[in-house]
Amino acid sequence: MNSHSSKTFDFDLFVIGAGSGGVRASRVAADLGARVAIAEERYFGGTCVNVGCVPKKLFSYAAHYADDWEDCRGFGWNPGQRQFDWPSLLANKDKEIARLNGIYRNILESRKIRIFNERARLVGPNVIEVGGERVSARYILLAVGGWPWKNPFPGNELAITSNEIFHLPALPESMLVYGGGYIATEFASILHGLGVEVALVYRGDKLLRGFDEDVREFITGEIGKRLQLELNREIAQIERADGGNLRVTLNSGATINVGEVLCATGRKPMTGDLGLENTGIRTSDNGAIEVDDRFETAEPGIFAVGDVISRVTLTPVALAEGQIVARRLFGGMDVRMDYEYIPSAVFCHPNIATVGRTEAEARSTGREYDVYLAKVRQLKHTLSGRDELSLIKLIVDCETERVIGLHMVGPDAGELAQGFAVAMNCGATKADFDRTIGIHPTLAEEFVTMRNRRKEHAARA
Ligand code: NDP
């Protein structure tokens, strides 16, 4: 451990929040010899493990069977009657989550990290109040995450959020999903796959703002083939209707009757009642804790990572940020977080994956770039008969010839894009892609066989 270690404090590092970022930082710090404590008032593993990535992906697998059920007929199968049991899925999911909670707890216990199953609050720069006790720490890390946010409208208390959807006692026959971001598109797809009649209501004209425009247009079309899509619409109010249903009135005046409404209108940093006012920590307008490029807040010695700083709100990013903080404080390593080629996937159906720049971002740099774009029909669908295309898009910087943006809509897009993210982080050029031999017949080979260039100029805005 470096010279920052001091026996005058109860702990070298006190972490608030045992989610992805907090647990990773605690583990790395303890492995580097620090005396660490962690406080968690809810569940181990945070949003990702309990009400996010992991259970969502399990639900997404469940939903994909519906497609397989239909697709297999063209291959000679006769799948019989379709039946799905939601309570079985919930029970199996809960068992797996409990296993993961145990693994997270074990990561901490096996390193003698002191665990407080309590809410912790900052009392001053080095002092934390936890479970009626006051403890001191040389450094404090805030990794408290985020929480679903419902935009205000009459009756929004009748809508559930992504927190509740993982524990719904029964799956309704119909549901309205509100929003057009990650959670809304993923859950609209999942619920549809599980046999729920879904209406997806979004205020914009294309889903997934912030993604590449070609991807947005394409996925909006593909999702629109599967379920009722209400674009350019907002919820005006929700009321209880007869028979326990909800009557949702849109700003167009139209009404939709559904069993449940899932509000997926974003998440906010969870900074309430943390005692920030007892420190010099500053927050931005959306409540995110402001940090410098070493994740230190305006209060020296207090750091923050993950969703609470609202930079890139993805689990692997929180893990990387937490690790960087611990390694710098206790391992003397001054590594900076590189946010440039972070891959991400949206597990809507079909999946989306993206690495690097969107075309709009490429254009905004003022540099010239080329675009390669293909819409292809997967070999599988020649026999399944499914009316679904995949989209593949590359954006290449004309001067350096580097592939600066890679986008895909299609099956297992995330599995595919991860490898390309490595290549792009290594500075792969279009020529590197071109001399790579494809794997035939796959969708992935399309990335190394793209020849038709659409030249784009910065001025083309
Ligand atoms: P997003 O920010 O992705 O989407 C929020 C949606 O709500 C947007 O479509 C937004 O519309 C809409 N919205 C916001 N305010 C209002 C309003 N006042 N009225 C109507 N609509 C509104 O948030 P999510 O909750 O979907 O997800 C939170 C974050 O969690 C994501 O950004 C992502 O970082 C992470 N996540 C990652 C996943 C993954 O990696 N696969 C999966 C799930 C979550 P508009 O676009 O017009 O602003």
Give one DSSP letter per residue of 240-296, joined into a string: E-GGG-EEEEETTS-EEEESEEEE-S-EEE--TTS-GGGS---B-TTSPBP--TTSB
Atom from ligand 1 closest to the CA of residue 210: 46
C-beta of residue 328 within 8 angstroms of C-beta of residue 334: yes
296-311 pLDDT, tens digit per residue, is 999 999 999 999 999 9
Q: What is the whole-number distance in angstroms between the Cα of residue 178 and the centre of ligand 1?
A: 10
- Whether ligand 1 lies within 6 angstroms of the CB of 314 is answered as yes
pTM: 0.96
C-beta of residue 371 within 8 angstroms of C-beta of residue 311: no
- What span, in angstroms and rounded, lies between the C-alpha atoms of 51 and 55? 6
180-208 pLDDT, tens digit per residue, is 999 999 999 999 999 999 999 999 999 99
- Nearest 5°: the CA angle 333, 335, 338 is 170
| Backbone phi, psi, residue 123, to 5° | -105, -25
Q: What is the whole-number distance in angstroms between the Cα of residue 197 and the centre of ligand 1?
A: 22
The mean predicted confidence, pLDDT, of the chain is 95
Closest C-alpha to 456, from 328, 330, 365, 351: 365
Pocket residue to mutate for ligand 1, from 53, 162, 203, most atoms within 8 A of Cβ: 203
| pLDDT at residue 455, rounded to an integer | 56
Q: Is 407 a catalytic residue?
A: no
C-beta of residue 179 within 8 angstroms of C-beta of residue 265: yes
For 41-63, the DSSP string reads SS-TTHHHHHHSHHHHHHHHHHH
Kindly state the average pLDDT of the residues 270-294. 96
Kindly state the average pLDDT of the residues 394-413. 98
- What span, in angstroms and rounded, lies between the C-alpha atoms of 272 and 294? 23
C-beta of residue 63 within 8 angstroms of C-beta of residue 185: no
Kindly state the average pLDDT of the residues 426-437. 98
Q: What is the whole-number distance in angstroms between the Cα of residue 180 and the centre of ligand 1?
A: 7
* Residue 457 scores a pLDDT above 70: no
Which H or E run includes 428? none
Provide the pLDDT confidence category of residue 1 given band limits of 50, 70 and 90: very low
| pLDDT at residue 454, rounded to an integer | 77
210-262 pLDDT, tens digit per residue, is 999 999 999 999 999 999 999 999 999 999 998 889 999 999 999 999 999 99
